[in-house]
Amino acid sequence: MTSPRDIQTFSRMLASQGPEAALAYLNDAVPHRYSAIYRVDGGMLRNIFLHDKKHETRPEFLAVVPFEVSFCQFVLRDGAFQTSDSGGDSRLDGHPYQGVMVSYHGVPLTDAAGALIGTLCHFDVVAHGLADEEFDLLQRAGRVLPEYLPPPAA
């Protein structure tokens, strides 16, 4: 992208073009194949927006993920979660997706009352680090994004 990588650019894009374009903006400068927004729905996490660098149809296994096997659970528990190579990350020992979903960097999404409603994340099936400035942008984006999301499905 030619524009500066900052929260102001992200916010302008979000306001003028919506969450899908803003998600693509976030994904543009990271090595991860996927960037996504998941909404908590009871014991499940529902993907509401997904950007895929390969522009392929969303795989079914990414559409709805049981909370207890998601990496998003750690975001909601700890306030953020990052692993560049889950296969070697002892925090994930015994997790069914350890070494399967290899890199994951996520931040929480909260509603106006401060309740956790979901996650914003970059992830891939291969190992990738995430530059500190990009994780900072992800965190800032997570604070402004919720007001632009569609309401939960009834």
What does the block give as tokens for 91? 């925090």
What confidence tens digit (pLDDT) does each residue in 21-62 have? Answer: 999 999 999 999 999 999 999 999 999 999 999 999 999 989
Mean pLDDT (the chain, rounded):
94
Mean pLDDT, residues 135-140 taken together: 97
> Of 105, 101, 65, whose CA–CA distance to 86 is shortest?
101
Are the C-beta atoms of residues 30 and 128 closer than 8 Å to each other? yes
